[in-house]
Amino acid sequence: MDPITAVFGLACIGAGGGAGFWLKKAESRLNTLADSSIVLQEAQAAHFSHLNAEVGSLRGQLSQMTDLIQALRATHPEIDGALLVHAVLHQYESQSGFDLEATHEEALAALETLISPISPNTAVGGEGLLSSTTESLLSRLLDVFSVRNISAEDLGLSPVAAHRFGHACLHLRRYDWAESCFGIAYRSSPGNGNILEALEHIALLRGDEELRRHWLEARMTVSPDQPDLLRAHAHLLAKLGDAGAERDVRRLEALGVETAADRSLLSGLRARAGSRSEALESIELALTENPNCSDDWCSYAQLLCDDGELGKAQQAVERCLELDRQNGDAWGLLAQLLAPMANKLEDALKAAVHAVALSAGGTKLIFLKSDLLMASGKITESEEALDRALLESPDNAELRARMASRKLMNGHIDDAQKLLDETPLGIDHSLLHVIEGRLHLARADRQRDGTGQTDRALLSEAITAFNDALRLDRESGVAWLGLARTKRLISDYEGAQEDIARALRLLPSEDPSAASEAALLALDLRDLSAASKHIEAAAIHGNSATVHYVRGNIATQNGSLDKALMHYDEALTSDPSHIRARMNRSGILLALNEGRKVLDDCEILLDLAPSLVLARFRRAEGFMHLSEWENARDDLKMVLESSPHHYQALTKLGACYLSLKRPERAEGPLNEAIRLNPNHAPAWHQRGLLYLDLKEPDAAFDDFQAAIRCDGNHLDSRLHIAGSLHHQERHAEAAAAWRAVLAIDPDSRIARTRLEHCEINLA
């Protein structure tokens, strides 16, 4: 055998042995792997068996918890409703689209579930009706309904659910929803006392007295003899001025449940109705039965006082004080009875001091005490009494307003403003706004320039103040009066007429201020007969400075300058600080050629009101009347510094420059006056005079014609036109011009002479 074959054979034997050895090893590994796999499978089987047991246990617990939650929701509907409402809110507040109708149905179901614990017979306005969570959810739900314009009607609430939801909304102070819900319930059960009580309560909270009366009477239909309802109805009718209040009190008497307050109300109703004799009989009968009731003696004294039997009233009030020395109302009434008696001033003061100390009589008695101190010569103590009362009650808005009003009437504008500025935060009262408006009017009186344009700017704040007062109290006569006066001053006569009519109805008949304002309004409307009627009505209560002032204005419009001057003199004698009376008197004096007296009045006006531009303008007119052109020019320049739009001052300034032989300085002011008011005839006339001075007759003639177009009765311009035509021997036109002059001034001798000359030439 050759070597190669031997080597090949050995190699084959070696390879076969190696392969067999590898196969044996592989088999061994496979057996080991199989054993491991079997062990792993058994372990996994055991693990899965354990997991299945755990899952089964968890499923049982979950089922148990689900049953528990369902039981909890079934036994606690507020929880169930809260969850449902929360889900509905999530849908409404979601930005994605959703089925609106289906969501409405879900919202209704959720809402009915949430409010189901509320009893329909819940006490109206009761506390603790809703939990904080329920309040929050319902508030959010109502906000969503408001945003999406969903009403109670849109929800389709059942009457019972509407009744319950009404109570919830009332608790949340959502009165619009509460009223709608109770309205739905009312249509289903119009005789339900709880629903009627709720609707009456809502009307009371809203301050709607007529609506409250409606629901009160509906409640009385169900329970006609319930004393509380009868009392509430009687007091409401008394407040509304309805005589039916007496019927309710009589029913209380018939039921035998009337109280002292009921008898007092009945007595007051009879007195108000003019049946004072019946009221007196009732109170006298009560005093006969029980003469030791101090309150009845006080009421008796008040009735006697109202009936004019002051002596008997004083005896009655003294009897009251014998029984009860701490009756503040009795002390206050005694002070009022004694105050007019000069020989009882000290006793009146003592009574007023007692009344104020007992907090009786309110602001009226505080001022009576102050007035009595002043009448006793204790001026400092009088002012201190008011200051002390305000210090003790800084939030007494009525007292603060009346104190400011007194200072304003005395001309102390800054002191009155200080009182208003010191009003504590949060205090808002109609009278405070009225005083604020009157302060604006007073400042306007002291800053006027006579153009009207400045007046409108100054008075706009006064209108705002009076409207704020009416926002708080629509029945404030003084606020309507202030608004009427302000509108009259800015020439809103239609609005002023409406407001003064309301003021006349609201203010007491003995208050002359409304009649005086009505007279001034009639004067502005050129109705002299109405003005005279109104001012005579005001004069019944005394000839005050305002009455004399208005009479002076009436005489001025009638052309009776001497009579007007007499009335203004009387007004200023009564009130030397009456700015408008003094201003009007200066105008009358100017018309009567009393230039020096005009200057005297203007000096006083400028002392009283240094910012009164109109007084400086009037003083300039006085200087012009006295031919003191330089003084007039200086005053007019000062007027124009504060009121550059004052076209009358510009016109007068141009006239001053012409008189000072400075025509080159006159043209600028006159052109500006014409630019500001192209219908101001005196400006055209003065510029015509300027052109005559500059030897420009054609331009002058055109300006005189422009003046006549602005004011057909401008006599000086017609004289210049007629003279110019006559000078040019245009006799036909001149004759017509002279006739126009005579139509304005029939006594003009030059016009009549020149007209005859023209007619001769034309013949």
Task: Give per-residue pLDDT as tens, 453-471.
Answer: 777 777 899 999 999 999 8
pTM of the model: 0.63
Higher pLDDT, 239 or 551: 551
Among 579-593, 664-678, 748-762, name the one with the lowest average pLDDT.
Answer: 748-762
- pLDDT above 70 for 100: no
- pLDDT above 90 for 312: no
8 Å CB contact between 531 and 522 = yes
Is residue 367 classed as helix, strand or coil in its secondary structure? Answer: helix
Per-residue model confidence (pLDDT) at position 591: 92
Among 64-73, 318-327, 512-521, 637-646, name the one with the lowest average pLDDT.
Answer: 64-73
- pLDDT above 80 for 531: yes
Per-residue model confidence (pLDDT) at position 556: 94
Query: In the chain, count of helices (H) and strands (E)?
Result: 40, 0
Among residues 650, 716, 724, the alpha carbon closest in space to that of 685 is found at 716
- pLDDT above 50 for 517: yes
From CA 600, how far away is CA 686, in angstroms rounded? 28
- pLDDT above 60 for 273: no
Per-residue model confidence (pLDDT) at position 103: 65
- pLDDT above 50 for 212: yes
Q: For the CA atoms of 595, 601, 604, 609, what is the dihedral angle to 10 degrees? A: -100
CA–CA distances in Å: residue 502 to residues 462, 472, 476: 18, 16, 9
- pLDDT above 50 for 605: yes
From CA 371, how far away is CA 363, in angstroms rounded? 12
- pLDDT above 80 for 19: no
From CA 636, how far away is CA 149, in angstroms rounded? 64
Per-residue model confidence (pLDDT) at position 290: 76
Task: Return mean pLDDT, the chain.
Answer: 83
Among 66-70, 105-109, 172-176, 589-593, name the one with the lowest average pLDDT.
Answer: 66-70
Express each pLDDT in 557-597 by its tens digit.
998 999 999 999 999 999 999 999 999 999 999 999 999 99
Per-residue model confidence (pLDDT) at position 409: 86
Q: Which residues contact 253 (CB under 8 A, 6 or more apart)?
A: 262, 266
Is residue 410 classed as helix, strand or coil in its secondary structure? Answer: coil
Q: Percentage of the chain with pLDDT > 70?
A: 84
Among residues 495, 549, 509, the alpha carbon closest in space to that of 535 is found at 549
Express each pLDDT in 715-727 by its tens digit.
999 999 999 998 8
From CA 72, how far away is CA 77, in angstroms rounded? 8
Among 11-20, 298-307, 484-493, 703-712, name the one with the lowest average pLDDT.
Answer: 11-20
- pLDDT above 80 for 695: yes
User: What do you get for the CA distance between the two ends of the chain, in Å?
Assistant: 188
- The conformational region for residue 241 under phi > 0 = left, psi -120 to 50 = alpha, else beta, is left
8 Å CB contact between 419 and 403 = yes
Per-residue model confidence (pLDDT) at position 686: 94
Among 89-103, 138-152, 323-337, 604-618, name the one with the lowest average pLDDT.
Answer: 89-103
Count CB-CB contacts under 10 A for residue 380.
Answer: 9
Higher pLDDT, 208 or 711: 711
Q: Tell me what the mean pLDDT of segment 362-366 comes to.
A: 86
The first and second tokens of residue 660, run together, are 């000072």
Rg (alpha carbons) of the chain, rounded to whole number: 47
Per-residue model confidence (pLDDT) at position 261: 58
Give whichever of 34-38, 243-247, 688-692 has the largest mean pLDDT.
688-692
Per-residue model confidence (pLDDT) at position 152: 81
From CA 476, how far away is CA 499, in angstroms rounded? 11
For 71, counting Cβ atoms within 10 Å of its Cβ (0-12 exposed, 13-18 middle, 19+ buried), the class is: exposed
- pLDDT above 80 for 32: no
What HEC string does 159-184 produce?
Answer: HHHHHHHHHHHHHCCCHHHHHHHHHH
Is residue 763 classed as helix, strand or coil in its secondary structure? Answer: coil
Q: Tell me what the mean pLDDT of segment 749-758 comes to.
A: 90
- pLDDT above 70 for 48: no
Per-residue model confidence (pLDDT) at position 72: 46
8 Å CB contact between 417 and 381 = no
The first and second tokens of residue 502, run together, are 């309301």
Phi, then psi, of 684 in degrees rounded to 5: -65, -40
Phi, then psi, of 628 in degrees rounded to 5: -95, 75
Among residues 542, 588, 586, 582, the alpha carbon closest in space to that of 562 is found at 588
